[in-house]
Structure 1
Amino acid sequence: MRTTRNIISAILLASTCLAGAQDDKVKKPNLLFILVDDFGAMDVGYAGSKLYATPNIDSLAKDGMNFKNAYSAHPRCLPSRYGIFSGRIPGRDGVPGFQDQSTSKNALIPSRVTWGEVLKDAGYSTGYIGKWHLCKDETGTPDKQGFTDSRIAGHAGAPASYFYPYDEARQGKSKELFPKIEGKPGEYLTDRLTDEAIDFIEKNKAKPFALVLAHYAVHTPIEAKPEMTDKYKNKLKDMGVLIGDGKKDADFKTVGHGAFKTVQNHPVYAAMIESVDKGIGEIRGKLKELGLDENTIIVLSSDHGGLSTRSIENNREVATSNLPYRNGKGWLYEGGTRVPMLVVWPGVVKPGSVTTTQTIGIDHYPSFVEMCGAKVPDGVEIDGKSYVDVLLGKQVDRGPIYWHSPLGRPHSTGDHAASSLIDGDWKILQFHVTGKWELYNLKTDPGELKDLSTAESETFERMKKQLLATQDNLGVKFRFGEYKGKGKGKNK
């Protein structure tokens, strides 16, 4: 670690010289973390999507490093975000969102030190814009967790509508209370968040800042600008692909208790992605205009895999296909946990570089702290591992990755309670209610089509023992039950 910190210090000193600083102080890099909700690993042009247009996200891949084996901390929104900002395996802490909240209304309890607090104490201006989803009241909002400037953030996992007023559903009733904010009729939420991010950057351009732009998009409700939607309808026609609506599409296939999409053909969802991508381009343009682009680290990722599955019992609108990865949001198969991840760090990360090193959402915590020249405070226990060495071009074995999802939602996204562990090329899954186990080799079978638990009995027994030992070490809790009803429950 000391060697790596020396390298980081040298980089920071070099950036100071490049910036023409007149004193001997190290110029700290800015940090912009863009977190797109429900954004699948295959929902981007650089990954091969033929429908989704993401030129600005693709430019991040061109200018930085693409993590091909990046994973979320959990296949659902709330616990995944808990892992990102606490740096802890959600299963260690009862899987926030599924746990007994009798002692605290907030999933991210006030005593848990976030990386926002660490960077704030290190002299950064910290901001949080968009989806937080980790609190029940004002005692747990981002400004109470180290992000001083908090905007349009609260408990809601989604807006009632993406068009202003955002707290009023365009169709049906609102499930959650979205914060009431001032806006203009017809204003689009994704654009509003982009504008807020640009405003924050302009106001904090004179000192180092750490900003989280947490888009509510591309989470449901699936709503987009009509003119963009029409463009993708025409694109699908030109591609010779049947236009879908995510409800009655012919490409759905059944798997177990669920059904999953196999074709990316939802024009409204494609338009939602374009709005996110367009905003990223505008923000990068502003950074360049202000002369901040060469000293700003940009990290883009998602909280979990794309929404591609649903229960066979309902007609829930589904957004995308994660193929070749299996299933999607809510599941511990690859489609539910794999996410896009790009890191741009001018002068440090080799442009256009690609890494196969595995990483998980909890790893952002120590990485962000290290990138910004700070350190995790004594007494703060995190599970994440820094990926800075990877950014510096080193070969790194991240080590085993573990997930625990104790309460399935078969009546919503079709998934069941499960745990899983990846160690190198091998992945094992444990299904809690049925007692079934599965084993896959991700190198030869990334789509998890061939269960090798019997054929590779020696590896299976080793992995099973390793997963059970991990559970004992973490003290994970099991819930032999599942949410009832169509999509009901505390967790998105």
Structure 2
Amino acid sequence: MTLAEALKEHGYRTGHFGKWHLGEEPYGPTAQGFDVQVPRWNKGWPRQGYHAPFGLDGLEDQPGDYLTDRLTDEAVKFIEAHADQPFFLYLSHFAVHDPLQGRADLVGKYERRRAELPPPAGPEFLLEGNPDSPAPADSASWRRLLEHPHYQGHRVFPGRLVKVKQRQDNPQFAAMVESMDQSLGRVRQTLEKLGISQRTIIVFCSDNGGMAAANFGRPSRVIAEDKLDAAYSTANVPLRGAKGWLYEGGIRVPMIVHWPGRGRRGVACQVPVISTDIFPTVLEMVGLPPRPEQHVDGVSLAALVAGEAESVDRDAIFWHFPHYSNHGMQSPGSAIRMGNYKLLHYFERDTVQLFDLSRDVGEQHDLAGEQPELAARLLRRLDAWRSSVGASMMDLNPDFDPAATPASVSQ
């Protein structure tokens, strides 16, 4: 059972607007508890881009339309149509997923701002490798390679090295972010206009870190210098890594909860939480009974939001990524965060890394060699969790050819 199904059982009108990316038919939104789906397109990216024509079934467009704005139009209509009854609006924008295409007026605004930026204080890109490689290096070694002629340009380099953006200066991405910000403003204005803002909970969050490393799903890809704004959306500094990585740059995302009349205001909570907490949190906030057999991976954050608790009842949170990503050349792996400590476990060579995020949010100082007992304890806890949830693990590829690396393909 999904959150939408649980709410629908109690009389909520449910609407999904935007990207789904949780399965094709017959596993789309209308089979998962949503009364309305706009558009009828189950993938996680736009079919034809952000500028009309969109080519999306169920979403009309006219010349000059921008996708984020049109989805907001439809979401506002949904709110207006159901303002007199409980409703659940899941506004899941395609933005800021690539293709990186901002609205023209906002792109111009941020192009002017970029022209006013001071020169960068350091490299605009850094090399990053796979810590699970047979001969892993360190950041200092990778930085020295930046000057080597074999590591110029933008592609997959020998040793599975890729470049990671270090400077936020992409006008297309900035424009997409502002369009999404405007969308949230329009939703809130609609709630105010209809007089229902004080009885509407808003949860704002993202699904992954920024695309600071390019998409190398096609490992032979070479990115031209004049196409960098289309390949690298942003920088996650001071966080390490990018979308598709287990470093904080890939998994740490914004989350804002607005609970009128109950939630604390203007407070930043330092307790680590995860997206699976949203299901039990919303149920408790709206006064519905929990469904522990469904939201087994999450805990309610209602008491945290209300300021009635300073922690949640669990000792760790987990991530499991048992496949290769098209962003970066990282090994498949899992991660556990327990308190301030985070352990990453990679599957190719059974490599682990250990970081103290309270002192090293950029994950530059691996403590696995200095604190082997702690690393072993966290790995045992991670193993126990994987076993308890039946986490799928990868099988070794009997046809693996170590000579056919991404770098050899792209050369």
Question: Shorter-chain TM-score category?
Answer: 0.7 to 0.9
**Structure 1 residue ranges, 4+ long, deviating more than 6 angstroms after superposition:** 481-486
Q: Which one of 428, 436, 442 corresponds to residue 343 of structure 2?
A: 428
1:205 aligns with 2:83: yes
Counterpart CA distance in 1 for 2:185 and 2:17 is 17
Structure 2 length-normalised TM: 0.82
**What aligned pairs does 1:93-492 form with structure 2 within 5 A after superposition?**
113-137=1-25, 139-159=26-46, 160-167=48-55, 179=57, 181-241=59-119, 251-256=124-129, 257=160, 258-310=162-214, 314-315=221-222, 317-377=231-291, 379-380=293-294, 382-393=296-307, 394-397=309-312, 398-409=314-325, 412-480=327-395
Counterpart CA distance in 1 for 2:352 and 2:292 is 39
Once the 2 structures are TM-superposed, how far is the Cα of residue 379 of structure 1 from its aligned partner?
4.8
Counterpart CA distance in 2 for 1:359 and 1:378 is 17
Counterpart CA distance in 2 for 1:473 and 1:233 is 50
**Larger deviation, residues 393-402 vs 339-348:** 393-402
Q: Tell me which amino acid in the other structure corresponds to 2:390.
A: G
Residues 232 and 271, structure 1, Cα contact 8 Å, conserved in 2: yes
Counterpart CA distance in 1 for 2:255 and 2:181 is 14
Higher relative CO (Cα under 8 Å, sequence separation at least 6) belongs to: 1
Counterpart CA distance in 1 for 2:59 and 2:76 is 18
Q: What secondary structure does 2:203 align onto?
A: strand
Counterpart CA distance in 2 for 1:145 and 1:376 is 18
> Any idea what the Cα deviations from partners look like across 1:394-413, whole Å, max 9, x if unmatched?
1114431111111113x643
Residues 309 and 318, structure 1, Cα contact 8 Å, conserved in 2: yes
Counterpart CA distance in 1 for 2:40 and 2:28 is 7
Counterpart CA distance in 1 for 2:79 and 2:58 is 23
Residues 334 and 344, structure 2, Cα contact 8 Å, conserved in 1: yes
Once the 2 structures are TM-superposed, how far is the Cα of residue 329 of structure 1 from its aligned partner?
0.6
Once the 2 structures are TM-superposed, how far is the Cα of residue 122 of structure 1 from its aligned partner?
1.2
**Larger deviation, residues 468-477 vs 295-304:** 468-477
Q: Structure 1 residues 485 and 186 mapped into 2: Cα distance closer, same or farther (>3 Å)? A: farther
Once the 2 structures are TM-superposed, how far is the Cα of residue 298 of structure 1 from its aligned partner?
0.8
Residues 245 and 327, structure 2, Cα contact 8 Å, conserved in 1: no
Counterpart CA distance in 2 for 1:199 and 1:266 is 32
Larger radius of gyration: 2
Counterpart CA distance in 2 for 1:376 and 1:153 is 31
Q: Structure 1 residues 378 and 321 mapped into 2: Cα distance closer, same or farther (>3 Å)? A: closer
Counterpart CA distance in 2 for 1:116 and 1:255 is 40
Segments of 5+ residues of structure 2 without an aligned counterpart are 130-159, 224-230, 407-411
Q: Structure 1 residues 395 and 380 mapped into 2: Cα distance closer, same or farther (>3 Å)? A: same
Q: Tell me which amino acid in the other structure corresponds to 1:231.
A: K
Segments of 5+ residues of structure 1 without an aligned counterpart are 1-112, 168-177, 243-248, 487-492
Counterpart CA distance in 2 for 1:353 and 1:116 is 28
Q: Tell me which amino acid in the other structure corresponds to 1:395.
A: E
Alpha-carbon RMSD across the aligned residues, in angstroms, is: 2.2
Once the 2 structures are TM-superposed, how far is the Cα of residue 377 of structure 1 from its aligned partner?
4.2
Give percent identity, aligned residues only.
35
Structure 1 length-normalised TM: 0.69
Q: Structure 1 residues 241 and 288 mapped into 2: Cα distance closer, same or farther (>3 Å)? A: farther
Once the 2 structures are TM-superposed, how far is the Cα of residue 181 of structure 1 from its aligned partner?
3.5
